[in-house]
Amino acid sequence: MQKKPDPCSFIIFGATGDLTHRLVVPALYNLAAGNLLPDKFCVVGIVRKGMSSEQLSDSLMQGLRKFATRPVDEAVAKRLFECVTSVEADPRDPASFDAMNERLDKLEKARGTGGNRLFYLATPPSAFLPISEQLGRTGMLEENGAWRRLIIEKPFGTDLASARALNSALLKLMDEHQIYRIDHYLGKETVQNILVLRFANGMFEPIWNRNHIDHIQITVDEKLGVGHRGSFYDATGALRDMVPNHLFQLLSLVTMEPPARFDAHAVRSEKAEVLSAIQIQSEQEALSNSVRGQYRTGRIGDTEIEDYLKTPDVRPDSSTETYAALKLTIDNWRWAGVPFYLRTGKALTTKRTEIAIKFKQAPFAMFRDTAVDRLSQNYLVISTEPTEGIELQFNTKVRARRSTSTASR
């Protein structure tokens, strides 16, 4: 049986935003429906302007009805939402964080959550540090007999230098074990299955290398446009929104060496090792090995897609990419010379997330001049969208057509 988590308060910064409504609350609901939330638990939504707990809870409920990934059981939803409390705090007003700390102290006494606090930053990236600094200043990140955790969304910095700066600023406020740099792709069943497929089956690992693999394609195509996320997306773009997080997670799971143990540190080290072997390209190489695009007005099935530049909060002359594709190589013994093609974009014709591994062709064309002379390639396709599954494509003989006389015998 799964262990129940510790009692805690789940404190959401950005409680009125798109991410909270579209993904965080439906995920909390799924935990509640699976009886996986602690018995003593409360959701605290940090809001900027006066918004009552009741208003917040109504708004989250509406979000749940719209975005739930399973039918909503009213009793479960009621139990979850009756614990929602709104608290006003703004990092530009330090006193509001002192007041928030006192409110949380009182709430956790009333709810019996024992001082464990999980701060979820569902905010624009510019707010990550100001909020963390206020949490640090008020002592809310200190672990005195209770745990304190911080979940950070992406993008984590805008380049290597800013990511490093953010990392070291956070580590001055708390310890590494308190920081969770979240990537929701790791929660997907098929993604979790990649390691099992590779390392729990003897048949794949011997051919999982440059001797047998021709190339690997990692594709995350989306049908949805940018929608209401114009201001976040226009400052971020397809590359930063998807590649160094989701696509690199998929890439590292497919290419890493087997970890010595199945634990967080061992898996993380092997992932870091393979990512550090990605060949650094010169500016010129990077330009010729990548493509950027931006969607225009169009139609997908019955849905009209509006020009990206007309999206609310997008600059009318924006050159932010909504599509990015790139080719990279990994400089190690297993992968030298194998190209990896990564691509992702919005407002495309299908929603498709897949890793396609193409194996090298059979060494000589034994079937030349026969019905099977045009052999298709061997692909192993791991997909999470539109359906979850793993598919192996290989050639077999086409069944011979029988003549009438033979068939009637």
Nearest residue (CB) to ligand BG6, 133 versus 234? 234
CB of 222 to ligand BG6, least distance (A): 5
Residue type, 146: A
Nearest residue (CB) to ligand BG6, 86 versus 353? 353
- In this structure, are residues 149 and 117 in contact, taking their beta carbons and an 8 Å threshold? yes
Nearest residue (CB) to ligand BG6, 57 versus 344? 344
Asked if 270 touches ligand BG6 (CB under 6 A), the answer is no
Nearest residue (CB) to ligand BG6, 54 versus 159? 159
CB of 353 to ligand BG6, least distance (A): 6
Count the site residues for ligand BG6 by CB under 6 A: 3
CB of 216 to ligand BG6, least distance (A): 19
Q: What character string, x for contact with ligand BG6 (CB under 6 A) and - otherwise, covers 323-362?
A: ------------------------------x---------
Nearest residue (CB) to ligand BG6, 187 versus 258? 187
CB of 404 to ligand BG6, least distance (A): 53
Asked if 222 touches ligand BG6 (CB under 6 A), the answer is yes
- In this structure, are residues 116 and 7 in contact, taking their beta carbons and an 8 Å threshold? yes
Residue type, 114: G
Among the listed residues 184, 228, 246, 265, the single catalytic one is 246
Asked if 221 touches ligand BG6 (CB under 6 A), the answer is no
CB of 127 to ligand BG6, least distance (A): 16
Catalytic status, residue 215: no
Q: Of all residues in this chain, which one has the CB nearest to ligand BG6 in the complex?
A: 241
Could you tell me which of 148, 129, 121, 100 has the C-alpha nearest to residue 13? 121
Nearest residue (CB) to ligand BG6, 87 versus 254? 254
CB of 241 to ligand BG6, least distance (A): 5
Joined together, the tokens standing for residue 311 give 């999206």
Q: How far is CA 301 from CA 227, 305, 306, 365, 376, in A?
A: 17, 10, 14, 42, 30
3-state secondary structure the chain: CCCCCCCEEEEEECCCCHHHHHHHHHHHHHHHHCCCCCCCEEEEEEECCCCCHHHHHHHHHHHHHHHCCCCCCHHHHHHHHCCCEEEECCCCCHHHHHHHHHHHHHHHHHHCCCCCEEEEECCCHHHHHHHHHHHHHCCCCCCCCCCEEEEECCCCCCCHHHHHHHHHHHHHHCCHHHEEECCHHHHCHHHHHHHHHHHCCCCCHHHCCCCCEEEEEEEEECCCCCCCCHHHHHCCHHHHHHHHHHHHHHHHHHHCCCCCCCCHHHHHHHHHHHHHCECCCCHHHHHHCEEEECCCCEEECCEEECCHHHCCCCCCCCCCCCEEEEEECECCCCCCCCCEEEEEECCCCCCEEEEEEEECCCCCCCCCCCCCCCCCCCEEEEEEECCCEEEEECCCCCCCCCCHHHHHC
**241, 270, 321, 354: residue in contact with ligand BG6 (rule CB under 6 A):** 241
Catalytic residue numbers read 246
Give me the residues that bind ligand BG6 (CB under 6 A), please: 222, 241, 353
